A and B are shown apart, each in its own frame.
Chain A
Amino acid sequence: MPARPRLVSRRTTLAVAGAGLVVLAGCDDRDEPAGDPTTSPSADPDQALVDEVVEQQGRAWQRATKAGAADLAALHAAHLEALGAPTPTSGQAPRIPVRRVEQQLQSALVAASLTARSGDLARLLASMSAAVSQQLEVR
């Protein structure tokens, strides 16, 4: 089981628009504190969700690696790292096309973001889904 991701929780500065305008936001933290590495995983209501996403990211990494899609594999490795998980060292790649795997992953990330209890985790998962959307657009 991977360690609980250490999610960034900090004031967010939103630089908006073409130039000059800056909107400051995120001046409070409604979310629960970022994951404490000393906390038991069972105490984390999002741990099962994270485990599921890690498994799906690992499958996507396997498939991208098998297909020789280095940039895609690097993306999933970065996402796994953000979730506090290593890239898999074993396991079988799914026997479906890379694009299909990525589409499934994108949908799963959106669903996971919607159900995450932690706002920081929801934000991270949404960002991952957008990264996969970009990859689907350029392939």
Chain B
Amino acid sequence: MSDVDALQTALAAEHAAVWVFGALGGRTSASATPDLFGSVSASYDDHLDRRDDLSDAIVEAGGTPVAAEPAYELPTLDTPAQVEAVALRTERSCATTYAWLTGRTSGAWRRWAIEALNRTAVRELAFRGTPEMFPGSDEYADR
């Protein structure tokens, strides 16, 4: 797998994260749950930035960025707790992607992936996540 292929995989994940956090923002009240709204908005902005970083890099490398799916499946989102749970699951999934990308890249892109992993691991905490032993690399915790 080339670096561009690895970036394409991460981009596919970011497309999904942007879509999910956009949907979560639409189900979150800025007045009733301002903290949650702020956290969801911050995640949305971060994932937008990362999606654009990846897309730009793939174009610069001569590739064609993978497109987003038309839509992504979401569970029922009737309560703030359900929004938090999906947000947490999404950040954890992205942490897995960033950790994977760290091992598949070097230099500037590895640095980018490490930073993204650190940021998303911290963001998990805003969605009632608890500190983990190996964010993004659960198999080490399972051994």
Contacts and interface: CB of A to CB of B under 8 A. Distances in A.
Interface residues of B, number: 53
A19 B73 CA distance: 6
Interface residues of A toward B: which range?
35 or more
Interface string B79-101: 00000001101100111111110
A130 B19 CA distance: 24
A20 B102 CA distance: 25
A131 B135 contact: yes
Given A31-B103, A120-B103, A16 B140 contact: no
A110 B102 CA distance: 11
Nearest to A27: B1
A36 B55 CA distance: 38
B131 A14 contact: no
Contact of B100 (A26, A110, A114, A135): A26
Contacts of A18: 20, 23-24, 72-75, 86-87, 89-90
B122 interface: yes
A29 B122 CA distance: 28
Interface in B101-143: 102-104, 110-111, 113-114, 117-118, 120-122, 124-125, 131-137, 139-141, 143
Interface string A83-125: 0000000000000000000000000001001100001101110
A122 B94 CA distance: 17
Contacts of A123: 99-100, 102-103, 136-137
A3 interface: no
A21 to B, nearest CB: 5
A104 B73 CA distance: 41
Contacts of A31: 103
Contacts of A137: 122, 125, 131
A30 B134 CA distance: 22
Shortest beta-carbon contacts, A-B, top 8: A20-B73, A119-B103, A123-B103, A17-B16, A130-B121, A18-B86, A127-B137, A134-B131
Interface of A: 8, 10, 12, 14-21, 23, 25-28, 30-31, 71, 75, 78-79, 82, 110, 113-114, 119-120, 122-124, 126-131, 133-135, 137-138
